[in-house]
Structure 1
Amino acid sequence: MFDVNDENAPVSNPSHNETFHEVVEKVVSRRSLLKGGMGLSAAMFMGGGLTACLSGGSGATGSAGTPGTTPQAPLLGFAAVATSTGDDIVVPSGYTAKVMYRWGDALFNDSPAWKGDASESGLEQARQAGDNNDGMHFFPFTVAGRQSSTEGLLVMNHEYCNYEYLFKPAAGGAVNTFLEPWTADKVLKAQNAHGISVVHVKKVGGVWQVQVGSSYNRRLTGNSPMTLSGPAAGHALVKTAADATGSAVLGTLNNCANGFTPWGTYLTCEENVNGYFGTAAAFTADALQSRYGLSAGGFGYRWHEHDPRFDLNATPNEPNRFGWVVEIDPFDASSTPKKRTALGRFKHENACLVVAKNGKVVVYLGDDERYEYIYKFVSDGVYNPSNPAASRDLLDAGKLYVAQFTAGASTGDFAGVGQWVLLDKAANATLAADARFADQAEVLIKARQAADAVGATKMDRPEWISKHPASGEIYCTLTNNSSRTAGQADDANPRASNRWGQIVRWREAGGDHTALSFDWDLFVLAGNPIAYPDRTDLKSGSANVTAANTFNSPDGMAFDADGRLWIQTDGNFSNAGNYAGQGNNQMLCADPATKEIRRFLTGPSGCEITGLSFTPDSTTMFINVQHPGEASDHPRRPATLLAGQSMEDYLARNPLAFSRWPDNGAGGRPRSATVVITKNDGGKIGS
């Protein structure tokens, strides 16, 4: 499928707002960090020590310790693994990784068996595990008043599907006709490969197993009933001929990463939803459609050919019903998920929820596209821990803000300052005077345009956001941005394009997550000192990136209970050129105090490592391996194909050419899967 963040793809953000890299240039210049040489001084800025910023505080854990006390044992207690270009998962000595839940696996008693030749129907796919497992969370059962670490519900996203593996080519068909004939059932199958799985899992005899047929098990797909709630529900821009109320929605799509709430619900985030829409007729995108990347061809899903919901001319408001954060009750299989419109509409990556000191709920949100923004939502109401059920609708009312990063004076080791700009039609004079927004509902439906208008800082693909459990500092992965040009390079930031990405962090003023200002810095600037070993070029990364831990494109990210920062990558796995020596996508672990980073895991060929959750005792880690065998950047791409043949057509006819994972080819094609990682001595993961 088309990648909206491919370097050849058009950019959706036409605004002239300042980019984050321009802010970094000002910071480095202001702090006179260029005296020691252009690249080296900038790298020192990117890799400066942060120990003082993470020490102390109630419940502080890890090697940061508390000033004046004996430091605890090092956070990183495992031996790093080397890069890999193989077709399996590699974990450190003393650990075991086992596949538990694969695309097509049974979830219900009537689930059809996996056939391995892609001949399942659309209805059969709805009763099987979805494709491309992504963000997830483990909800433990409560046993005798305590959270279980051996049984619970694992809720996960199924982001998209790979047509080259999803459909069975017709025998003897011509080149590039593997999808023909294109039918309504194929559209249904693709829609049902998307969505969510709620999976009852249990540790039996020391092995984690799916409890097939459990009453908790559930599949939500592109056709499941949902409800629009909050300020945008019922607005004219979300009404369709099939739904005059503007509140009854079918389906959730492109569910990327996730979040969870203290009242026991799951937050799934709709990301690249624009790609499912298209039309066969003439189409000219209006300003709103253009800003959200809608086009006649979409990403090539072709759903509009058999489902008028996805025809831009037939149902022009349907795209406005996607691009939200969806709240799901995993423990009630009969409940209807709610799309919480107060959190804004954009390409959501994940939702990091924090309960502030005053009890208000704060949700940090990233918009995963080049030059897009970082947001936060602050609830009007407060969370009541003694009555969690009363908090079920806290996400329907509150204030949405967007971040501005600036190079002003900051405190401690932090590089700059920032502010949260309110996106409110009544309270923000800029938006009040802007005719594009008739009311607050339109501000939320058109959140990108509202953020453009108030001068938000353009970032390099904001993805996962996570909070440090002790310091309360917020970290965000900025995956990459290969579209920047040489004209944007400067002494402090000489990369012509940001191919490797970075992680930014910030500390809210006064440690208050509802604050309107913050200090910020960069935790790590990814790069490749193997390809660029002289360390005078920012292409080699910051000081804590070495030939031993080199990586590109940080994406998934989360802290564990002890403060280890787990970093997952979704980047170029060609192992050549700018990415020489970096191997397959991987998962690393960092000590936020010392800034040491070690590689913990490497994935199979052509995959992305994503999704991350732990049992309450931290002795089991769940991760997802997405799209093994994907074509892009694959080092085993054949030098020649049949005349005019696409790579997708080649893989449809040779499905095991790039990967045989997870069952060494026995499944007939590579399959995304959930993997369980445990330590052989039963200890905490990473210790």
Structure 2
Amino acid sequence: MLLPLLNDSHKGGRSALTCMFRCGNACAHDVANRSGNAYFSDIATEALSRRGALRAGALGALVVGAGVAGAVPAMADPAEPDGELSAAGWHHGDLRFTPVPPNKDDALRIPNGYRSSVVVRWGDPVLPDAPDFDFDNQTAEAQAKQFGYNCDFVTLFEMGRNRGLLWVNHEYTDESLMFRGYTAATATPEQIKIALAAHGGSVVEVERVRGTGEWKLVTKGRRRYNRRVTAQTPMRFTGPAAGHDLLKTAADPAGRKPVGMLNNCAGGTTPWGTVLTAEENFDQYFVNGDKNNPNIARYTIPTNIQASNRRFDKVEERFDLAKHPNEANRFGWIVEIDPFDPDSTPVKRTALGRFKHEAATTSVSRDGRLVVYMGDDSRFEYIYKFVSKKRYIPGFDRHNRTLLDEGTLYVAKFSGDSPKEEIDGSGKLPVDGAFDGSGEWIPLVSGEESHVQGMSAAEVLIYTRTAADKVGATKMDRPEDMERNPVTGAVYVALTNNTARTPAQVDEANPRPANKHGHVLELVEGRNNGFAWSLPLVCGDPNDASTYFAGYDKTKVSPISCPDNLAFDRDGNLWISTDGNALGSNDGLFVTPTRGRERGHVRQFLTVPVGAETCGPMVTDDQRSVFVAVQHPGEIDGATPDNPASRWPDGAQPRPSVAVVWHGQGRKIGS
């Protein structure tokens, strides 16, 4: 029984309850990355001589990606003078709302003039024959047809002006809030099966309300697209590692038919209209990993039963690695799902590598190849990208669905451009006035060809962390979501925090020790696998000298802590959701322009209820609506169903939900 641990002291802004169920108390364990890879401060600053050339050519190599809504304008030159309206159609200074102040309210707080509503909540019927939700009479059969538990990545596939399909990830379950009197030791088989069914994702059909920015569930009629994907849904492997011995099990001797997906956090979409959903903290669901296998430790997989909060092994033997040692290798992938075909089989794309995935943001390169950006959300882990071998062909669906099976997987190595002594851990900017530098993408594997000595291509893809260690990738502060600016083409990376970084380990891209507030990195692609990077935001209290807001007046910005998920609107404004606000108030959604005089002017657009994390977010193409996933409301230490810390959204038990916010007069979000 692990619940007594909730009384222990806990670092950061998350509750111990969240840490236990979401990631298996990852931060309480030793850092998994024990490699001798250099930190930026250990890298010679030869980048000084090549930085100018790289920045001059950085924008020539890559064009902004085509999403499901079609192509967007080519990226502009970052040196373009500020203007009221850029050539790409970006209107500077278009954010005019009054920021929401920090608070601890048990409500979704939004700016004056805006409205909000709940679109879908845990337990709402998804399939037409699903029963209504009944907290005290839950069943696994019902949950497999109802909206799952904690919701994270959200995306909307619009079908005309007033109809669409909403995809939502269900990252993890918190059984202590789902069931009265729950403990791992006494969990019933039915409770465990409910939890398995509450993972995965949902497709729900939604419709716009009377031409406003509000959206609601379609609750009548056939709802032909509605679907639940769970931890028990049959799937298939494709790509170079499919069928490898390390993916074979007694139930699947061919190593090609995994079952289910777990801990799906962030994600992305493809130009051909499918979802890419990222399996993150999959390790915590297993027991009895081989303690003598270094890859078990590298992926922090438990080596005993006592470490498990859920005991899935009680109802499905595959979660006991003493009996099925390869089962854990079948998780930690990017999964592709077709929301328009509820009978399709989800695909785990092995060419994109296996780690604790965050994000799967796609774009199309200038020469037509598909590019996928991905982070590995753990302390001192890495940033990756995949580039397809073949080119994207608009409208050629059968061809395009093969692009994610062959290409080159890269990992990022960074260099700072300031002398080591100028990065002193205080957050003070170096003499050149910016935390910035250059970097290179190091190839790990190209199709069946490994670029890592001593590892086959399949081994690189199954043990990607180990491969990245070997090539000297750069250790980062929890790389989370990665998104591309639709106007400038720059890639933005949320680095949530890393309290384990010591003063000796600070570097120009991770400039603070014990980094509890995180920062945002901007990456501009160059030629020959090079890139330029900078830190536009170093988060925290604006009164703290170690914070930085792209040079903007810090007396006018909102405090922000622990950036997690990112999104862009079509004007190029960056929307940032937070996870684990270490400043003592509720998490929220923030927005800032990324160019012009307002660059760095961070403003809080909303706050979520007490105990909750802000996920999503997603701004619609017409910028009339923003969706947010309100994950784990009321997940406060000591909370139980009989003593809830939150009663959002319905005044009863807290229920993770997706909400939508819109302007009462039909204006664009943020205006």
Provide the TM-score with structure 2 as the length reference: 0.84
2:149 corresponding residue in structure 1: 131
1:211 aligned to 2:218? yes
Q: Of residues 622, 626, 632 in structure 2, which corresponds to 1:617?
A: 622
1:418 aligned to 2:439? yes
Distance 2:125 2:567 in 1: 29
Distance 2:316 2:152 in 1: 26
1:159 aligned to 2:159? no
For residues 387-431 of structure 1, the C-alpha deviation after alignment (integer angstroms, 9 at most, x for no partner) is 234211210110000000012599997821100000028998972
Q: More deviation in 11-20 or 483-492? A: 483-492
1:467 corresponding residue in structure 2: 484
Distance 1:159 1:602 in 2: 20
Change (3 A) 1:270 1:604: same
Distance 1:620 1:426 in 2: 40
2:505 corresponding residue in structure 1: 488
Residue 160 of structure 1 deviates from its aligned partner by 0.2
2:282 corresponding residue in structure 1: 273
Q: Of residues 393, 400, 404 in structure 1, which corresponds to 2:402?
A: 393
Q: Of residues 17, 41, 64 in structure 1, which corresponds to 2:37?
A: 17
1:112 corresponding residue in structure 2: 131
Distance 1:401 1:358 in 2: 18
For residues 71-97 of structure 1, the C-alpha deviation after alignment (integer angstroms, 9 at most, x for no partner) is 445131222111111011111112111
Unpaired runs of at least 5, structure 1: 32-51, 142-147, 170-176, 574-578, 633-646
Distance 2:330 2:489 in 1: 33
Code of the aligned partner of 2:156: F
Q: Of residues 600, 618, 634 in structure 2, which corresponds to 1:595?
A: 600
Distance 1:293 1:492 in 2: 25
Distance 1:68 1:21 in 2: 34
Q: More deviation in 65-74 or 178-187? A: 65-74
The number of equivalent residue pairs is 608
1:663 alignment partner, SS class: coil
Residue 664 of structure 1 deviates from its aligned partner by 2.0
1:424 alignment partner, SS class: strand
Do the aligned residues in 2 keep the contact of 1:503 with 1:523 (CA within 8 Å)?
Answer: yes
Change (3 A) 1:393 1:194: same
Q: Of residues 553, 562, 565 in structure 2, which corresponds to 1:553?
A: 562
Do the aligned residues in 1 keep the contact of 2:372 with 2:387 (CA within 8 Å)?
Answer: yes
Do the aligned residues in 2 keep the contact of 1:620 with 1:685 (CA within 8 Å)?
Answer: yes
For residues 567-603 of structure 1, the C-alpha deviation after alignment (integer angstroms, 9 at most, x for no partner) is 0000135xxxxx25xx100110011012211111111
Code of the aligned partner of 2:649: P
Distance 2:59 2:541 in 1: 27
Code of the aligned partner of 1:198: V
Residue 539 of structure 1 deviates from its aligned partner by 5.9
Do the aligned residues in 2 keep the contact of 1:149 with 1:617 (CA within 8 Å)?
Answer: no
Code of the aligned partner of 1:525: V
Change (3 A) 1:84 1:223: same
Change (3 A) 1:653 1:664: closer
1:497 corresponding residue in structure 2: 514
Residue 203 of structure 1 deviates from its aligned partner by 1.7
Residue 284 of structure 1 deviates from its aligned partner by 1.9
1:663 corresponding residue in structure 2: 650
Do the aligned residues in 1 keep the contact of 2:416 with 2:507 (CA within 8 Å)?
Answer: no
Distance 1:424 1:65 in 2: 35
Residue 8 of structure 1 deviates from its aligned partner by 2.6
Q: How does 1:144-155 map to 2 (within 5 A)?
A: 148-155=160-167
Do the aligned residues in 1 keep the contact of 2:407 with 2:446 (CA within 8 Å)?
Answer: no
Q: Of residues 626, 630, 633 in structure 1, which corresponds to 2:631?
A: 626
Do the aligned residues in 1 keep the contact of 2:24 with 2:309 (CA within 8 Å)?
Answer: no
Distance 1:260 1:465 in 2: 13
Residue 66 of structure 1 deviates from its aligned partner by 5.1
Distance 1:68 1:453 in 2: 43
Q: More deviation in 477-486 or 611-620? A: 611-620
2:13 corresponding residue in structure 1: none
Q: Of residues 449, 474, 480 in structure 2, which corresponds to 1:457?
A: 474
Q: More deviation in 439-448 or 290-299? A: 290-299
Residue 653 of structure 1 deviates from its aligned partner by 3.7
1:518 corresponding residue in structure 2: 531
Q: How does 1:144-543 map to 2 (within 5 A)?
A: 148-169=160-181, 178=183, 181-205=186-210, 206=212, 207-212=214-219, 213-279=222-288, 283-295=290-302, 296-297=304-305, 298-408=307-417, 415-424=436-445, 431-432=452-453, 434=454, 437=455, 439-488=456-505, 495-509=512-526, 515-530=528-543, 532=544, 535=545, 538=546, 543=551
For residues 463-508 of structure 1, the C-alpha deviation after alignment (integer angstroms, 9 at most, x for no partner) is 0001111211111000000112344358997743000000111111
Distance 2:479 2:73 in 1: 29
Q: More deviation in 57-66 or 326-335? A: 57-66
For residues 600-629 of structure 1, the C-alpha deviation after alignment (integer angstroms, 9 at most, x for no partner) is 111100100011223331212211100001
Do the aligned residues in 2 keep the contact of 1:502 with 1:526 (CA within 8 Å)?
Answer: yes
Distance 2:602 2:393 in 1: 38
Change (3 A) 1:585 1:310: same
CA RMSD, Structure 1 to Structure 2 (Å): 3.1
2:258 alignment partner, SS class: strand
Do the aligned residues in 2 keep the contact of 1:477 with 1:554 (CA within 8 Å)?
Answer: yes
1:96 aligned to 2:115? yes
Distance 1:334 1:492 in 2: 45
Do the aligned residues in 1 keep the contact of 2:74 with 2:489 (CA within 8 Å)?
Answer: no
For residues 633-652 of structure 1, the C-alpha deviation after alignment (integer angstroms, 9 at most, x for no partner) is xxxxxxxxxxxxxx3xx524
Distance 2:92 2:330 in 1: 49
Q: What percentage of residue pairs aligned between the two structures are identical?
A: 42
2:537 alignment partner, SS class: strand
Provide the TM-score with structure 1 as the length reference: 0.83
1:304 alignment partner, SS class: helix
Distance 1:229 1:391 in 2: 14
Do the aligned residues in 2 keep the contact of 1:53 with 1:412 (CA within 8 Å)?
Answer: no
Distance 1:332 1:287 in 2: 40
1:476 alignment partner, SS class: strand
1:672 aligned to 2:659? no
Distance 2:226 2:398 in 1: 22
Residue 548 of structure 1 deviates from its aligned partner by 4.4
Distance 2:80 2:602 in 1: 21
2:162 alignment partner, SS class: strand
Do the aligned residues in 1 keep the contact of 2:76 with 2:487 (CA within 8 Å)?
Answer: no
Change (3 A) 1:492 1:626: closer
Code of the aligned partner of 1:8: A
Code of the aligned partner of 1:231: P
Distance 1:140 1:245 in 2: 38
Code of the aligned partner of 2:379: R
Distance 2:398 2:47 in 1: 51
Distance 2:508 2:463 in 1: 36
Residue 529 of structure 1 deviates from its aligned partner by 3.6
Change (3 A) 1:62 1:235: closer
Distance 2:398 2:663 in 1: 36
Do the aligned residues in 2 keep the contact of 1:157 with 1:255 (CA within 8 Å)?
Answer: yes
